[in-house]
Amino acid sequence: MNKSIKITDGNDGLQFIEIDNSLAVARIALQGGHVDWWRPKSANQDVLWRSSNARYEKGRSIRGGVPICWPWFGHHPTDGTYCVHGFARVAPWKLKNSTQLKKWRYKNCSNNDSFRRADKTTHL
C-alpha cells in the first residue's frame, strides 16, 4: 500500500480508508465502499454533501457522500425487508492494493465474481 493511504477505525466500529495525496483528501468507508468525503487540494471546502443525520453504524447505510447502490436503486421491488438501494451499501469491502497516479485520471477495475454472493466479502 502506498504512503498516502491508511486504514483507520472510527469510534462507531466502522473502518475507513483515508487518502491524503498531492491531488485530494478523501475518506471511504469499508462498509459499502462508500465515499464519505472528498476535497480536491485546490478547494477550500469538501465537495460532497453529507447529512447531519448520517448514521455510522455497522449494517446501516451512510446518508450522503457517494454510495454504491447495487443491485437495485430504491426499495427492493418484491421484498421490503432488504436494504434500500441494495446490499452493496452495507457489504464489507477490502482494499487489496493501491497505486499512486502521476496525473489526475481514473483506472477501471472490474471483477465478474464481485457480487455473486451477498454474504461474501466484496473485492473489486
The enclosing H or E element of 35 equals strand 34-40
For residue 59, the model assigns a pLDDT of 84
Q: What's the structural domain count of the chain?
A: 1
At residue 89, φ and ψ (nearest 5 deg) are -65, -20
Task: State the residue range of the domain holding 19.
Answer: 1-124
Q: What pLDDT score does 99 carry? A: 79
Residue 64 sits in a domain whose CATH number is 2.70.98.10
pLDDT score, position 9: 93
Q: Do 121 and 105 form a contact (C-beta atoms < 8 A)? A: no
What is the chain's pLDDT, residue by residue, as a tens digit (124 residues)?
678 899 999 878 899 999 998 888 999 999 999 998 899 999 998 888 778 888 888 888 888 888 888 899 999 999 988 888 988 888 999 888 887 766 655 444 444 444 444 444 444 4
pLDDT at 1: 66
Biggest CA–CA distance in the chain, Å, is 46
